């Protein structure tokens, strides 16, 4: 299958090799032959949807940018890539960085952008260094800067070292971080196209999204729209990790069966084992059971049909020996740690879910904990400023629902503590207790005696020891 981004061309990361393989010809084409609005129309027609997680139509997003030049406009390229299980944007920085740069320049032209920021997570030094060099090379060749390739169009590009936090990948938090502020997500509306970086119109796109654009311009929207699934066309960079023989990033058309990815490309499950659970799009996406995985096609619509989502196409495979409760506890710990703390449901709820999972793991879980976990998750979901709340809630809600037996197996019995607490709460409704407590001749000793009768004495002794 022909690859759009991770092409098998040795040395493609070098600007001269890129140019000799038709590189920057799409930029030339848009500057000489296309009006900005034609570029947006072409990207819209291609059906390209964002690869950063939300799967939103890229052309439509670009069309939201206001026309005219009253205010400077900005493009932020999101290379924060901190979702556990996601590692495909760094592959683009390493293997085909100029195609991403070219795509972001075409995007900038189509929206009348003044400056492009390439936001890369602070700890990713290797990729920051690569991209600083690539941007400098593109400036030297005249692809970035003033009057690009002799046209009227000028744009600058900066590589920005991010703050080293998962939350800074959320688009509004990214903009705050870029402005030098704390990486707190902003309340929307207003949306970035209206009020973005320094209060100016801004578009935020994922690295992979932008890397698709030069080939859409080069080969046409129709060509792109025919690759993979019609409602979610193109290829995806599947970052596959976990209990498989050959982890890595595989570029394949949308709609590729999950089992083809795992068996034909990743060499199957490690040590000849069976598998138990697969997370299809980064750790925040609802997991798939084995039964769902066997027939699953990897595109937005197919995953939506079983209550999951494609996310960043970061596939995490877990074999039959995996302790699912431990996995969920580890995932929840991550989101608890990464919550920025602005909204109560996310800040407190992540901590509560972690507490409950910890007690199930250490053997003091209660049967009611499973419904409690789902209830906390459902009270976070949709009730927060940004989607990190959902990202924390979905794995809990769906893992408990789909793998309930694994959780129940860790809960021996309703705990003693709960038995006693429930019985104490039940006293007020106990006819025997009410009778004694309403009897004016009752002494305190009578009351205590009755309580001890109702609450099993053994329980009390064990509880207080
Ligand atoms: C907590 C959180 C973290 C995110 N991290 C990233 C990220 O690292 N990279 C990314 O492209 N999008 C990330 N997103 C999604 C962005 O907010 C945004 O939707 C995306 O960058 C838009 O680009 P696209 O339309 O090209 O997909 C994150 C969202 C949330 C809620
Ligand atoms: S949902 Fe969580 S991460 Fe997002 S703004 Fe609220 S507290 Fe912060």
Ligand 1 pocket member 171 (CB < 6 A): yes
Answer whether 36's CB lies under 8 Å from 110's CB: yes
The protein residue with its alpha carbon nearest to ligand 2, atom 8, reads 340
The protein residue with its alpha carbon nearest to ligand 2, atom 6, reads 343
> Which ligand 2 atom sits closest to the C-alpha of 340?
8
Answer whether 243's CB lies under 8 Å from 151's CB: no
Q: What is the pLDDT along the chain (465 residues), one digit of tens a residue?
A: 789 999 999 999 999 999 999 999 999 999 999 999 999 999 999 999 999 999 999 999 999 999 987 899 999 999 999 999 999 999 999 999 999 999 999 999 999 999 999 999 999 999 999 999 999 999 999 999 999 999 999 999 999 999 889 999 999 999 999 999 999 999 999 999 999 999 999 999 999 999 999 999 999 999 999 999 999 999 999 999 999 999 999 999 999 999 999 999 999 999 999 999 999 999 999 999 999 999 999 999 999 999 999 999 999 999 999 999 999 999 999 999 999 999 999 999 999 999 999 999 999 999 999 999 999 999 999 999 999 999 999 999 999 999 999 999 999 765 555 566 666 666 666 777 777 777 877 887 777 777 777 766 555 555 554
Residue 124 CB neighbour total at 10 angstroms: 21
Ligand 1 pocket member 56 (CB < 6 A): yes
Which helix H or strand E contains 128, and what residues bound it?
helix 125-140
CA of 173 to the centre of ligand 2 (A): 10
Q: What per-residue confidence (pLDDT) applies to 465?
A: 47
CA of 112 to the centre of ligand 1 (A): 22
Return the beta strands (E) in 230-270 as ranges: 232-233, 235-242, 248-253, 256-257
Q: What per-residue confidence (pLDDT) applies to 440?
A: 79
- Residue 117: C-alpha distances to residues 205, 261, 382 (Å): 11, 34, 30
* Rounded CA separation 20/142 (Å): 16
> Which ligand 2 atom sits closest to the C-alpha of 342?
7
Q: Is 250 exposed, middle or buried (0-12, 13-18, 19+ CB in 10 A)?
A: buried
Question: What pTM was estimated for this model as a whole?
Answer: 0.90
Q: Which residue, chain included where needed, has tokens 């991010």?
A: 162
> Which ligand 1 atom sits closest to the C-alpha of 387?
31
Tell me the two tokens of residue 364: 């003091």
Residues having CB within 6 Å of any atom of ligand 2: 167, 185, 339-343, 346-347, 384-386, 388-389
Closest ligand, as measured to the CA of 341 = 2
Q: pLDDT for 257-305, tens place per residue?
A: 999 999 999 999 999 999 999 999 999 999 999 999 999 999 999 999 9
CA of 241 to the centre of ligand 2 (A): 27
Alpha carbon 155 to its chain's center: 30
* Rounded CA separation 196/208 (Å): 21
Phi, psi dihedral angles at 190 (to 5 degrees): -75, 145
* Rounded CA separation 111/76 (Å): 12
């Amino acid at each position: 299958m022909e690859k759009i981004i991770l092409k098998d061309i040795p040395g493609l990361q070098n600007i001269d090799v890129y140019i000799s393989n038709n590189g920057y010809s799409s930029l030339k084409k848009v500057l000489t032959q296309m009006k900005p609005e034609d570029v947006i129309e072409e990207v819209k027609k291609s059906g390209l949807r964002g690869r950063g997680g939300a799967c939103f139509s890229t052309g439509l997003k670009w069309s939201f940018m206001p026309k005219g030049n009253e205010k400077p406009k900005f493009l932020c390229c999101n290379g924060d890539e901190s979702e556990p299980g996601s590692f495909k944007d760094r592959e683009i920085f390493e293997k085909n960085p100029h195609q991403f740069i070219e795509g972001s320049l075409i995007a900038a032209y189509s929206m009348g952008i003044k400056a492009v920021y390439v936001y890369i997570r602070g700890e990713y030094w290797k990729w920051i260094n690569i991209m600083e060099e690539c941007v400098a090379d593109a400036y030297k060749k005249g692809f970035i800067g003033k009057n690009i390739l002799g046209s009227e169009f000028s744009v600058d590009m900066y590589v920005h070292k991010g703050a080293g936090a998962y939350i800074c990948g959320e688009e509004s938090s990214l903009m705050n971080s870029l402005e030098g502020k704390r990486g707190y997500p902003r309340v929307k509306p207003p949306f970035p196209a209206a009020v973005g970086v320094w209060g100016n119109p801004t578009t935020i796109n994922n690295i992979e999204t932008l890397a698709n654009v030069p080939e859409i311009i080069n080969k046409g929207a129709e060509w792109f729209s025919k690759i993979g699934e019609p409602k979610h066309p193109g290829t995806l960079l599947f970052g596959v990790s976990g209990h498989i023989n050959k982890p890595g990033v595989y570029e394949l058309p949308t709609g590729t069966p999950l089992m083809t990815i795992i068996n034909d490309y990743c060499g199957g499950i490690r040590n000849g084992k069976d598998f138990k659970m697969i997370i299809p799009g980064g750790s925040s996406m609802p997991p798939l059971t084995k039964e769902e995985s066997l027939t699953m096609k990897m595109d937005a619509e197919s995953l939506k049909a079983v209550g999951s989502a494609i996310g960043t196409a970061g596939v995490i495979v877990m074999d039959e020996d995996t302790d699912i409760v431990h996995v969920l506890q580890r995932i929840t710990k991550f989101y608890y740690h990464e919550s920025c703390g602005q909204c109560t449901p996310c800040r407190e709820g992540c901590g509560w879910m972690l507490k409950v999972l910890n007690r199930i793991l250490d053997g003091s879980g209660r049967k009611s904990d499973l419904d409690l976990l789902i209830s906390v998750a459902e009270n976070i979901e949709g009730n927060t400023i940004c989607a990190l709340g959902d990202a924390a809630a979905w794995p809990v809600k769906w893992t408990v629902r789909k793998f309930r037996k694994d959780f129940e197996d860790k809960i021996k019995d309703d705990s003693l503590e709960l038995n006693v607490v429930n019985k104490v709460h039940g006293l007020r409704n106990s006819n025997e207790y009410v009778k004694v407590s309403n009897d004016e001749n009752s002494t305190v000793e009578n009351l205590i005696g009755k309580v001890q009768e109702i609450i099993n004495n053994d329980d009390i002794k064990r509880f207080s020891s």
